[in-house]
Structure 1
Amino acid sequence: MNSISVFLIYLLLFFFHQPKTTVNMNTKIVIAHRGASGYLPEHTMEAKSMAHAMNADYIEQDLVLSKDDIPIVIHDIYLDDVTDVATKFPERKRKDNRFYVIDFTFDELKTLQVTERFNPKTGKQVYKNRFPKAKGNFKLHSFQEEIELIQGLNKSTGKNIGIYPEIKEPSFHKNEGKNLTEIVLKILTDFGYKTKNDNCILQCFDAKELERIRKKLQSELFLVQLIESEEALQQLKYFATYADGIGPWYKQVLDTKIDDTWQFTSLVADAHKLGLKVHPFTFRADSLDEFSTFEEMLKTLLIDGNVDGCFTDFPDLAVDFLDK
């Protein structure tokens, strides 16, 4: 047994609390953003195991297709900011000098070493106090492998932790002759995720694609419309025709601070009037910006701002806060 395996067993024992056998969408939820990515390299099996041990309500999976149509769990369509692809396959970069997941088979992708996120131009680690770059033995994996891990841990621990997959850049995939969405929905169906009762929330930034999932592909899953632009904030009524929730940037919930007290935009109230849940991203204890402490951030948004959940790199801290 290697050191990582021993480490994970220790984590499972150390963080094991009372099993979560149900997840009530009427309570506030904690979504492990790319797993426990504040502690281990993002979207690795180790980060997902740690998030499960920390009792997150949901664990996120960003999904991109390989050359041979396997959904890979990785943050975006590029490889060169979280792996050693530039060293192993230097000749495989495109004209923009980036390395794309879709240009590699699953077997090729499994040969890469995954590391803490870094800037591919400078080589510098993005979050300098997180797991050291280029240390450890972390690998890419498929969506199916991660579902098997989470469902297996649910079985062995008695927990009921959900999955929160994202369809990444569907237009890019279509331009490459690929159909990511249908492949992902087939895998979800095969593993028992079909309706809002099946502990799966499906998300996407592409509004037309998420609407297609609901209306044309007739998915009955809980759907969340991710929001990037300010213009999208004006489309809540449209989103409510097919989605069950929205995922805005947390700063879109905040307004101004008056006498040390945060004021809020109307986003959460407007969404709630339309029956939409609000799950903002991303809560980071090591990137606080407007807040002096992570607890202040959690209280401001989860309690005072009345959002319904949060994407966080530090699920243990959010779980502990809500437990209190």
Structure 2
Amino acid sequence: MTDWFVVDFTLEELKLLGVNQRFSFRDQQYNGKFPIITFEEYISIAQDAKRVVGIYPEIKNPVFINQQVKWSDGKKFEDKFVEILKKYGYKGSYGSKEWLKQRAFIQSFAPGSLTYVANLTDLPKVFLIDDVTIRTEDTNQQTYYELTSGSYLDFIKNYVIGIGPWKDTVVTTKNNYLDEVTDLVAKAHACGLQVHPYTFRNENSFLHYDFHQDPYVEYDYWINKIGVDGLFTDFTGSLHNFQEKTSPLS
């Protein structure tokens, strides 16, 4: 593919760009008013908060980045990524005292990248899944994985604490209605893996008819009926409100 990519520009040049809202039906009034932020600036937003705010950064397109960028010290994109996390104190396995102080998950669609990172940090990692029938991005090899097979999940569980599947791979849809619940969650849980599906959005165009245009009904379905362990959402405030209202302690 021929195009302009982030790696074709310096940070100074990228800072000249203004961020735009990609969905036309969302608020457009801030288009062009704010620059792209760096990973470290993103981290500072979380660390400047008055409470513990976790981060969930993605190692984005590591195969492409490592092909296009050659660091002078011979390190890889993943090395640089983990160095920044360590610089700001992110460490510890899931649920440990160290991790609870500054919570972070690492996510990626590339299993080879996650297995590489597993040797650099014990922070919890989540393997993202788009469509179980498509080729998996991998820094070591290009191959087809039977992502729903017990054998593959048995392999990946040695490196990650969970999977982050596209939600239509968990519950299929038909004519904008929910259709069949697959066995992906059951198989993942049987392997001791968490399941964090994506992406949940409040807009009617993203809500299946079963939820009657109510995102809280959707959250309830996925958390309490499907039994997922986490969610990727564009509307964190809505999910937080749902959790507060439905918590046994509220």
Deviations 1:243-293 (A, max 9, x none): 111100111111579xx9975222112211211111000001111145432
Q: Which runs of 5+ in 2 are unaligned?
A: 71-75, 94-98, 133-145, 246-250
Q: Is 2:148 the partner of 1:233?
A: yes
Residue among 178, 182, 185 paired with 2:82: 185
Which residue of structure 2 aligns with residue 145 of structure 1? 41
**What TM-score do you get using the length of structure 2 for normalisation?**
0.78
Which residue of structure 1 aligns with residue 12 of structure 2? 107
- Written as runs of structure 1 = structure 2, the 5 A alignment for 1:173-322 is 173-178=65-70, 179-196=76-93, 197=99, 198-214=102-118, 217-230=119-132, 231-234=146-149, 235-255=152-172, 264-286=181-203, 287-291=206-210, 292-293=212-213, 294-322=215-243
How far off its partner does 1:173 sit? 1.1
Deviations 1:101-142 (A, max 9, x none): 10111111111111111xxxxxxxxx3321117735111111
Hey, what's the Cα distance between the residues in 1 that align with 2:84 and 2:92?
A: 14
User: Is this contact kept in 1: 2:18–2:31, CA < 8 A?
Assistant: no
AA in 2 matched with 1:281 = Y
Identity %: 35
- Written as runs of structure 1 = structure 2, the 5 A alignment for 1:37-186 is 96=2, 98-117=3-22, 127-132=23-28, 135=31, 137-153=33-49, 157=50, 159-178=51-70, 179-186=76-83
Give structure 1 regions of 4+ aligned residues with deviation exceeding 6 angstroms. none
User: Is this contact kept in 1: 2:46–2:52, CA < 8 A?
Assistant: no
Hey, what's the Cα distance between the residues in 2 that align with 1:210 and 1:100?
A: 23
**What TM-score do you get using the length of structure 1 for normalisation?**
0.61
Q: Which runs of 5+ in 1 are unaligned?
A: 1-94, 118-126
How many residues get paired?
212
Which SS does the other structure have where 1:162 is aligned?
coil
AA in 1 matched with 2:25 = N
Deviations 1:162-215 (A, max 9, x none): 11111011110111134211101000011111222241100110011111111x
Hey, what's the Cα distance between the residues in 2 that align with 1:162 and 1:236?
A: 26
Which SS does the other structure have where 2:232 is aligned?
strand
Change (3 A) 1:189 1:269: same
User: Is this contact kept in 1: 2:148–2:187, CA < 8 A?
Assistant: no
User: Does 1 or 2 have the higher relative contact order (CA < 8 Å, sep 6+)?
Assistant: 1
Q: Pick the structure with more strand per residue.
A: 1
Change (3 A) 1:261 1:167: closer
Which residue of structure 1 aligns with residue 139 of structure 2? none
Hey, what's the Cα distance between the residues in 2 that align with 1:175 and 1:261?
A: 40
